C-alpha cells in the first residue's frame, strides 16, 4: 500500500542525495593505512556514517558485495520491488560458476551511524567471517577478482528503502601459492669462495711439501756412508805410553776378535795382554 509512496520518496530523496554536499553516497575504503586494508579475501570499508540521510528508526544498512561484473545483474534483479531481497543470493553458493556472484550482509542499524558521529577510525571488514555457511553471513570474497560494493537501506519487513551508488572497482590480489617460492641456492657468498679456494690450495701445497720432504730424506739416506771407524780393527790395543797394567785407556772398542783363525803367523798377537 505504501509502496508507490515509498518509491516516489526514494526517487526524490536519491535526487536530493546526489546534490547533497559533503556526503559520500557509496561505500569507500577506509582511509587509514591498515596493513590488511585489502587482502586476497577481505576488504576494509569505512563505516556507513553519513551515507543515508533518512530518519528511519527501524531501518538497517545492508551491504551488497560482489564481483563488479555482477553489478548489472544485481541492479536488474533489485530495481523492481522484489520481495525477499535478503535471500536473493545466499553466501554459500554466491560465487559458484553459475551463480549471481554477489551476496548481501548486514552492516548495522541506521541509527547506529548518525552523521555527527562520523569517524574515520571505524571500519567494517567485508569477509571477516571467512568461509561461513549462513545465507547473509559476512563471508570472504574470491581472490584475484575485482569487487564492488553498494549500501542498501532496508526496512524491517525486508523492503528496499534506498540504495547508494556502486563503489569504485577494488582489485583483490591473487593469493600466491607457497609452493611456487623458489628456495634453491640464490648466490654463493664471497667468504665461502675464499675459504674453499685457499684451503684447497693449502692442502695441495702441504701434500706437495710432504712428498718433497720424503723424497729428500730418502735420497740422502741412500748416499750416507757407514760410520767410519778410525781405528784399525785388527789391533786390540795400541798404547803409546808405558803404562803399567793398571789402566788400559786405549782399548779399541771396534776390535773384533776372529771367530776363526785364518793364519797362524807370528805377527798376530796371541795374547791381548801382551804389550807390543
Query: Which lies closer to another protein via its Cβ, residue 5 or residue 36?
Result: 36
Please list, in sequence order, all residues whose beta carbon lies within 8 angstroms of the beta carbon of residue 205, skipping any fewer than 6 positions away. Answer: none
Residue 40 to residues 86, 127, 172, Cα–Cα distance (Å): 25, 10, 5
Query: Which lies closer to another protein via its Cβ, residue 199 or residue 254?
Result: 199
Query: Which lies closer to another protein via its Cβ, residue 114 or residue 173?
Result: 173
Residue written as grid cell 548486514: 106
Residue 43 CB-density burial (10 A; 0-12 exposed, 13-18 middle, 19+ buried): buried
On the CB side of 13, CA atoms within 13 Å amount to: 18
Query: Which lies closer to another protein via its Cβ, residue 11 or residue 120?
Result: 120
CB of 113 vs another protein, minimal distance in Å = 19
CB of 174 vs another protein, minimal distance in Å = 9
CB 138 within 8 A of CB 129: yes
CB of 100 vs another protein, minimal distance in Å = 23
CA distance 223 to 188: 52
CA distance 248 to 273: 10
Query: Which lies closer to another protein via its Cβ, residue 182 or residue 257?
Result: 182
CB of 138 vs another protein, minimal distance in Å = 10
Query: Which lies closer to another protein via its Cβ, residue 198 or residue 229?
Result: 198
Query: Which lies closer to another protein via its Cβ, residue 3 or residue 192?
Result: 192
CA distance 21 to 115: 13
Query: Which lies closer to another protein via its Cβ, residue 213 or residue 268?
Result: 213
The span from the first CA to the last CA of the chain, in angstroms, equals 164
CB of 79 vs another protein, minimal distance in Å = 34
CA distance 188 to 178: 24
Binding site for another protein (CB under 8 A): 32-37, 39-42, 44, 123, 125, 128-131, 140, 173, 175-179, 181-183, 185-189, 191-192, 195-196, 198-200, 202-203, 205-207, 209-210, 213, 216-217
CA distance 209 to 44: 73
CB of 17 vs another protein, minimal distance in Å = 29
Q: Give one word for 84, left, alpha or beta, with left for phi > 0 and alpha for psi -120 to 50.
A: left
CB of 191 vs another protein, minimal distance in Å = 6
CB of 48 vs another protein, minimal distance in Å = 17
CB 59 within 8 A of CB 109: yes
Amino acid at each position: 500500500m505504501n509502496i508507490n509512496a515509498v518509491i516516489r520518496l526514494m526517487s526524490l530523496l536519491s535526487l536530493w542525495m546526489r546534490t547533497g554536499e559533503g556526503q559520500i553516497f557509496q561505500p569507500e575504503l577506509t582511509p587509514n593505512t591498515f596493513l590488511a586494508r585489502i587482502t586476497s579475501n577481505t576488504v576494509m570499508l569505512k563505516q556507513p556514517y553519513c551515507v543515508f540521510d533518512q530518519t528511519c528508526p527501524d531501518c538497517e544498512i545492508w551491504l551488497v558485495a560482489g564481483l563488479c561484473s555482477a553489478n548489472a545483474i544485481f541492479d536488474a534483479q533489485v530495481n523492481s520491488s522484489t520481495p525477499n531481497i535478503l535471500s536473493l543470493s545466499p553466501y554459500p553458493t554466491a560465487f559458484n560458476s553459475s551463480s549471481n556472484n554477489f551476496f548481501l550482509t548486514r552492516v548495522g542499524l541506521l541509527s547506529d551511524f548518525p552523521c555527527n558521529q562520523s569517524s574515520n577510525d571505524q571500519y567494517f571488514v567485508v569477509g571477516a567471517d571467512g568461509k561461513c555457511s549462513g545465507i547473509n553471513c559476512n563471508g570472504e570474497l574470491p581472490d584475484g577478482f575485482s569487487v564492488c560494493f553498494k549500501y542498501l537501506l532496508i526496512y524491517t519487513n525486508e523492503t528496499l528503502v534506498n540504495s547508494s551508488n556502486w563503489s569504485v572497482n577494488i582489485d583483490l590480489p591473487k593469493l600466491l601459492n607457497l609452493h611456487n617460492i623458489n628456495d634453491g641456492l640464490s648466490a654463493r657468498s664471497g667468504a665461502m669462495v675464499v675459504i674453499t679456494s685457499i684451503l684447497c690450495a693449502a692442502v695441495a701445497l702441504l701434500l706437495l711439501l710432504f712428498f718433497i720432504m720424503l723424497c729428500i730424506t730418502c735420497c740422502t739416506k741412500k748416499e750416507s756412508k757407514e760410520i767410519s771407524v778410525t781405528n784399525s780393527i785388527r789391533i786390540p790395543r795400541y798404547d803409546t805410553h808405558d803404562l803399567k797394567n793398571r789402566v788400559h785407556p786405549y782399548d779399541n772398542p771396534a776390535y773384533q776378535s776372529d771367530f776363526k783363525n785364518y793364519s797362524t803367523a807370528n805377527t798376530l798377537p796371541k795374547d791381548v795382554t801382551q804389550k807390543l
